[in-house]
Amino acid sequence: MHVDINLLPEKEKRKLPLILIISLLLVVLFAFGAYAWSIYEQKIQEKDNLEKHLAYSKKLREIQQTKSAENNSSHVVDELETAIKWAEESSVSTFLLVRSITSMLPERGFILTFSFTDNGEVQLSVQFDSSRQAAYFLKSLSDSNLINQATLLDIKTETLEETEAKTENVLPRYIAQYSLIIDKKALKKGELEGKVTQ
């Protein structure tokens, strides 16, 4: 048998590697903590910067909206003023026109329909006792200084029921359709003077 005898004193095991490992772990943990803290601070700084930028952008947008609203309101005012000016310039008195036209009618002539458009066109239906009165009325319209052009579109005889015709001596009625183009300047001038001349 072989026995191994060691007469040298046993060396103490050093705890250095354990202390070194713990120290190294603490340093790494501290470095990681410092890194994490710096990232956290950086993110907080970015958040603050973004909030400041957002607040600045909101304030800038409010200022631009205020300016835009002011510009829009002034633009709307300009449009309204233009519309009012146009309405004042282009409006004509249909009262004076109708009064002038009715003054040209024969004694038993009646306006049945009257249609006036913005561009100065008038469509007119008139009832007469004879076709001769319809022709005379067309001549009167053509001679008027308020009317640039007068056209007789159609003339029809109004039919009466036989029972009415037999019981009374009623003359047939004539319905004439006219198309007129009005001289707006002359009508406007007459409106300003307060009278309309034929």
Write the pLDDT tens digit of every residue in 164-182. Answer: 555 566 678 899 999 999 8
Structure confidence at residue 15 (pLDDT): 63
162 has pLDDT over 60: no
Structure confidence at residue 166 (pLDDT): 58
Structure confidence at residue 198 (pLDDT): 46
Structure confidence at residue 168 (pLDDT): 64
Q: What would the mean pLDDT of 35-43 be, rounded to a whole number?
A: 94
Record the pTM: 0.52
What span, in angstroms and rounded, lies between the C-alpha atoms of 160 and 18? 130
CATH of domain 94-193: 3.30.1360.100
Closest CA to 127 of 148, 140, 112, 116: 112
pLDDT band at 48 (very low <50, low <70, confident <90, very high): very high
pLDDT band at 190 (very low <50, low <70, confident <90, very high): confident
Q: Is 159 helix (H, G, I), strand (E, B) or coil?
A: coil
Please give the mean pLDDT across all residues of the chain: 83
Structure confidence at residue 161 (pLDDT): 61
Distances in Å between the alpha carbon of 37 and those of 8, 26, 29, 33, 51? 53, 16, 12, 6, 21
Measured in residues, the chain has a length of 198
